[in-house]
């Protein structure tokens, strides 16, 4: 049986490229797999795939009856609805350990680094599996994206090392220029509805029984968000919250200013604002990472 290599819902560049890169790794080890995804590539990911002549993974909504390797997550909330009917074989991730379980031992590589593709690069080295030029370029882009050009507090020396080695394989001499081209693509708002923008990079979390949805929209400048668009985003965020969530949060990240603006719709807005230490203008200076700077303080607050 061909096993599926699958990233999380509302896939970002790391999730899509991690599926492709992990599939390369497993195939290099003689394991029959194929990369799949739970959604279409976002604009940044489309840019990366086109630049390095790679095809987007097949989109799937069901994994029942399949063997599955997870990349870039281990939370049930980010898995297909019928995940319990699949057989979990392995996890590659850089987030906290989630709540997926298995009925037999699994191969887990979970490291506290800035990007899943950093872990996958380490695994390629460990198993002696080659990475071709185009895949190396895409993996580099995933690292640049997840670490926000190495500015994110999640970035580690391991990410920088992996990026440097992948750049050498891909023949990339200017990582900053590549990253800026990528973020320009990521910042594209043309033709996207408010809901599309909220769900471009959106994850649900179970925080002490409360369903908290958190989206992040990374832009070259928040000046791109007009008052009209902001009003539309707030109205849509209210609708997202009313779909069974305690809170719906959108983190608007200004890549150049290295901070984020908080938008939310919540049953307890004051608690969320306090946990994230947003100022009177809902600005969170230095906040670049949902994984490290948004999710942990919220989880700690809702545990109390």
Cβ neighbours around 82 below 10 Å, total = 13
Q: Per the domain annotation, does 189 fall within a domain?
A: no
User: Number of folded domains in the chain?
Assistant: 2
Per the CB < 8 A criterion, the answer to whether 3 and 68 are in contact is yes
Q: Per the domain annotation, does 99 fall within a domain?
A: yes
Whether residues 116 and 255 fall in one domain: no
Cβ neighbours around 137 below 10 Å, total = 24
Q: Name the domain boundary from 154, 184, 214.
A: 184
The predicted-structure confidence for 120-156, as pLDDT tens digits, reads as follows 999 999 999 999 999 999 999 999 999 999 999 999 9
Whether residues 161 and 199 fall in one domain: no
Residue 8's pLDDT is 97
Look up the domain containing 227 and give its range: 194-303
pTM, 2 dp: 0.87
Element (H, E) at 202: strand 202-207
Whether residues 170 and 198 fall in one domain: no
The CATH number covering residue 283 comes to: 3.10.310.20
Q: How far is CA 125 from CA 2, 25, 99, 119, 149, in A?
A: 24, 10, 29, 10, 23
The CATH number covering residue 104 comes to: 3.90.1640.10
Whether residues 28 and 145 fall in one domain: yes
The predicted-structure confidence for 176-212, as pLDDT tens digits, reads as follows 999 999 999 989 898 899 999 999 999 999 999 999 9
Sheet of 247-254, strand order: 202-207, 210-219, 247-254, 259-266, 283-285
Cβ neighbours around 173 below 10 Å, total = 9
Q: Per the domain annotation, does 23 fall within a domain?
A: yes
Whether residues 40 and 176 fall in one domain: yes
């Amino acid at each position: 049986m061909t096993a599926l290599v699958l990233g999380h819902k509302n896939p970002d560049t790391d999730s899509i490229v991690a599926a492709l890169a992990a599939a390369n790794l497993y195939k290099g080890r003689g394991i029959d797999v194929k990369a799949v995804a739970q959604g279409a590539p976002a604009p940044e990911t489309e840019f990366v795939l086109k630049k390095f002549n790679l095809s987007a993974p097949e989109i799937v909504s069901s994994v029942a009856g399949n063997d599955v390797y997870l990349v870039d997550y281990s939370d049930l909330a980010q898995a297909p609805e019928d995940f319990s009917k699949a057989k979990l074989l392995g996890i590659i991730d850089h987030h906290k350990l989630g709540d997926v379980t298995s009925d037999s031992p699994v191969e887990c590589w979970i490291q506290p680094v800035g990007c899943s593709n950093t872990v996958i690069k380490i695994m390629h080295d460990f198993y002696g599996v080659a990475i071709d030029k185009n895949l190396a370029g895409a993996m580099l882009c995933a690292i640049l994206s997840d670490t926000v050009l190495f500015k994110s507090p999640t970035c580690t020396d391991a990410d920088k090392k992996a990026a440097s080695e992948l750049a050498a394989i891909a023949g990339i001499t200017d990582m900053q220029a590549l990253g800026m081209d990528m973020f320009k693509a990521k910042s594209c708002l043309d033709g996207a509805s408010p809901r599309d923008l909220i769900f471009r990079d959106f994850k649900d979390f179970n925080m002490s029984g409360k369903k908290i949805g958190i989206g992040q929209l990374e832009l070259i400048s928040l000046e791109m968000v007009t008052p009209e668009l902001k009003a539309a985003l707030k109205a849509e965020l209210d609708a997202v919250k009313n779909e069974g969530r305690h809170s719906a949060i959108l983190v608007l990240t200004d890549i150049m200013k290295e901070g984020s603006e908080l938008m939310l719709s919540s049953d307890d807005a004051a608690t969320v604002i306090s946990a994230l230490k947003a100022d009177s203008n809902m600005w969170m200076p230095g906040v670049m990472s949902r994984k490290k700077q948004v999710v942990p303080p919220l989880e700690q607050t809702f545990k109390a």
